[in-house]
Structure 1
Amino acid sequence: MIRLTGVELRRLTARRITLLGVAGVVLITAFLLFVTWREAEPLSALEQQQARTSFEQDHKMWNDTHVQNEAECRKTWDPNVNPGANIDQVCSYSEPKASDYGKPQAVFSQLVPQLLHGASYFLLFAGFLIGASFVAAEFSSGAIGNWLTFEPRRMRVYGSKIAAAGLWFVPLGVVVTAVLTLGTYLIAAQLGSTAGTDWSDVIGTAVRVVVTTAMGAVLGAVVGLVLRHTAAAIGLVMGYIVLVEGVFGAFLQKVQPWLLGKNFDAFVLHDTTYDIEACTSQPDGSYTCDYIQKTLTFEHGAWYLAILTLVLVVVGGVIFQRRDVN
């Protein structure tokens, strides 16, 4: 099994689409760092002066009018117009703060989770695409039949291909997350702030991104084996994103905890949130709707992804064991 996995790793490394995929990952990684650097750049002296002038004007206007505006708001307040609203919140006019004007400082602890989360998606897609192509190409060319004459034990062949797909992407995920983390740290240290960094959170997020990258390659290999065509595998993913995540996820909001995308986010980000619309009828006959925010936990996302991957790997193995390769 180890020898077979080593052979599959070498084959995967030698494939042209693998090299093209890695080149694409490198370009996207460089682009993300470039965008981060541009976003972290502080305002020019002229822009800072304009922001300061806007703050001073708004603060002066607030000083001159907020008492009168609050009094008029309370005088004309009608609880029937906004049922359930708090008069103190509605009629409160917050004092402008200088920190709200201009560009906020780039903070490493805020930048890196967002960047790694974004990287997790393109790494997942790259792993899925290359993994699907890696296995599906053998069926399209007929090479899988020749391979089974050399090693007729199908489950060993299946296991080696799945293992190779997952293992190959572990170092790629490690390198990409390390480059993004180090690059973002250097940018924040130069142009912003690195204070308050919790490295255990940063490393934890990076590890989870590496795990989902390997998972994407494994799932791609399984789907490629079942469908036997890379284009069909990509079409299946696109169909799921559009129909299930896009259409059903928007109209059937209560199914959000069972969507792949939400559980993926919950795992990578260590908890995520989603909104559910709650509508009620008022005594006066009106119909009001509010959004209730709910939390999808990391544990839920981890179990969801683990069970999904395990089930698909088992199903793929059963299909490969029983179905004719031609």
Structure 2
Amino acid sequence: MRHVIAAEALRWLRRRGLWATVAVFLLLAVMSGVAMAASAEPPDEATVAQAKVDYASYLADWNENHQEWYQDCLDATPEDENPQAMCAETLAAPVKSDYVPAPLAWADGMRSAAIFAGILGGMLAMLVAASFWGAEFRHGTIATWLTFVPDRTRVWTAKNVVAVLMSAVAALVMSAVVLGVTTIGFVMFQGPASVGDWGPPLGIAARGLGFAALAALIGAAMAVLFRNTVAAAAVPVAYLVLTSMFGAVTYVPGLEFLATLMPETNLMAYLALGTTYWVPALEPGEGMVERHLPFAHGLTYLLVLTGALAVASLIAFQRRDVAE
């Protein structure tokens, strides 16, 4: 088995198309890191000063008139829409932080950078793993390779081991680039003292590597099932189109459970150690209610999805004629 894995690794390294894809994604990682770094720049003094004036002006206006506004709101809101709760929320006292911009905090900026890097790394892993397998079917080399190693299970395992390892390495480099460039931005714009705890972003980055490994298996499985590389890109695109058309169905009372079945919600729960989403309240007029999806749910979802696709691809690879 070790020799088969070594041979597959050598074949991966000789695929120029895979290197080109990695190079493109590394460029995206650099550009993304620069954008994240730019967001660390504090707002200019003129903007802050004007925001303080606007806040003070509205606060004075609110203190003088909010009771009248509240009564007008109650009069204009139907009873079945819970006017007391809605008007109290709409006309709440202004909060200074909502008006006066503050420099981006290290924890928030690095969290966003790490999550983005994890998603980008997963996309890269899915694409290169699918290309690694798809090229075998496109060029017909898989049939030749099986004449040297007839055991299809060994070939399937070796190719996926290499795809997972190489994808994880590429995702690791991408995360390092995004986090490194973002850190440089914080140091440049806010000084070395702005650098805070590395634990949370590195934890997200580590889970991002796990997602890259799973994404590589998903991409490889789709390439085997559909016998081409295009499926790895076409299926996610088709999913995005469908969710943009029918995503609102999760906001229909009684169907809010569908939000827990969305891949993106579970991915966020996995990367961020839990996530929140909004569903309509059961009682009319109560608006939206916040729900929490835990890390364990996201992890289980990703493992079950990946495992099902991997098993299906192994069965297809074992039973189908590779020369079809």
Q: Same fold (TM over 0.5)?
A: yes
Summarize the Cα distance change of 1:91–1:119 in structure 2 as closer, same or farther, 3 Å threshold.
Answer: closer
Equivalence for 1:283: none
Please point out which of 283, 298, 302 is paired with 2:295.
298
What SS is found at the alignment partner of 1:85?
helix
Which shifted more, 34-43 or 20-29?
34-43
Summarize the Cα distance change of 1:47–1:309 in structure 2 as closer, same or farther, 3 Å threshold.
Answer: same
Q: Which whole-Å CA distance do the structure 2 matches of 1:143 and 1:2 have between them?
A: 21
Kindly provide the CA deviation profile for residues 190-213 of structure 1, in whole angstroms up to 9, marking residues without a partner as x.
Answer: 323766944332221110111111
Equivalence for 1:119: 117
Kindly provide the CA deviation profile for residues 130-151 of structure 1, in whole angstroms up to 9, marking residues without a partner as x.
Answer: 1111111111211011100111
Q: Which whole-Å CA distance do the structure 1 matches of 2:90 and 2:18 have between them?
A: 60
1:29 aligned partner, one-letter code: A
| C-alpha displacement of 1:72 | 6.3
2:275 aligned with 1:269:
no
Equivalence for 2:178: 180
Kindly provide the CA deviation profile for residues 16-56 of structure 1, in whole angstroms up to 9, marking residues without a partner as x.
Answer: 22112111121111111211222222233443443344345
Summarize the Cα distance change of 1:94–1:184 in structure 2 as closer, same or farther, 3 Å threshold.
Answer: same
| C-alpha displacement of 1:93 | 5.4
Q: Which whole-Å CA distance do the structure 2 matches of 1:139 and 1:221 have between them?
A: 12
Query: Aligned runs of 1:225-240 on 2, under 5 Å?
Result: 225-240=224-239
Contact 2:163 2:216 in 1 (8 A): yes
What SS is found at the alignment partner of 1:256?
helix
Contact 1:70 1:93 in 2 (8 A): no
Summarize the Cα distance change of 1:16–1:47 in structure 2 as closer, same or farther, 3 Å threshold.
Answer: same
Equivalence for 2:200: 201
Q: How many residues align?
A: 315
2:78 aligned with 1:51:
no
Q: Which whole-Å CA distance do the structure 2 matches of 1:135 and 1:115 have between them?
A: 30
Equivalence for 1:67: 64
Unaligned stretches of 5+ in structure 1? 281-286
Please point out which of 277, 281, 284 is paired with 1:278.
281
Query: Aligned runs of 1:153-192 on 2, under 5 Å?
Result: 153-192=151-190
Contact 1:58 1:96 in 2 (8 A): no
Equivalence for 1:23: 23
Q: Which whole-Å CA distance do the structure 1 matches of 2:14 and 2:321 have between them?
A: 27
Unaligned stretches of 5+ in structure 2? 251-255
Contact 2:127 2:233 in 1 (8 A): yes
Please point out which of 142, 145, 169 is paired with 2:143.
145
Contact 2:106 2:186 in 1 (8 A): yes
Q: Which whole-Å CA distance do the structure 2 matches of 1:313 and 1:76 have between them?
A: 56
What SS is found at the alignment partner of 2:216?
helix
Q: Which whole-Å CA distance do the structure 2 matches of 1:39 and 1:26 have between them?
A: 20
The higher radius of gyration belongs to 1
Summarize the Cα distance change of 1:179–1:297 in structure 2 as closer, same or farther, 3 Å threshold.
Answer: same
Summarize the Cα distance change of 1:242–1:91 in structure 2 as closer, same or farther, 3 Å threshold.
Answer: closer
Summarize the Cα distance change of 1:289–1:87 in structure 2 as closer, same or farther, 3 Å threshold.
Answer: closer
Which shifted more, 190-199 or 139-148?
190-199
Summarize the Cα distance change of 1:277–1:53 in structure 2 as closer, same or farther, 3 Å threshold.
Answer: closer
Summarize the Cα distance change of 1:80–1:238 in structure 2 as closer, same or farther, 3 Å threshold.
Answer: closer
Summarize the Cα distance change of 1:72–1:325 in structure 2 as closer, same or farther, 3 Å threshold.
Answer: closer
Contact 2:18 2:131 in 1 (8 A): no
Q: Which whole-Å CA distance do the structure 1 matches of 2:223 and 2:209 have between them?
A: 21
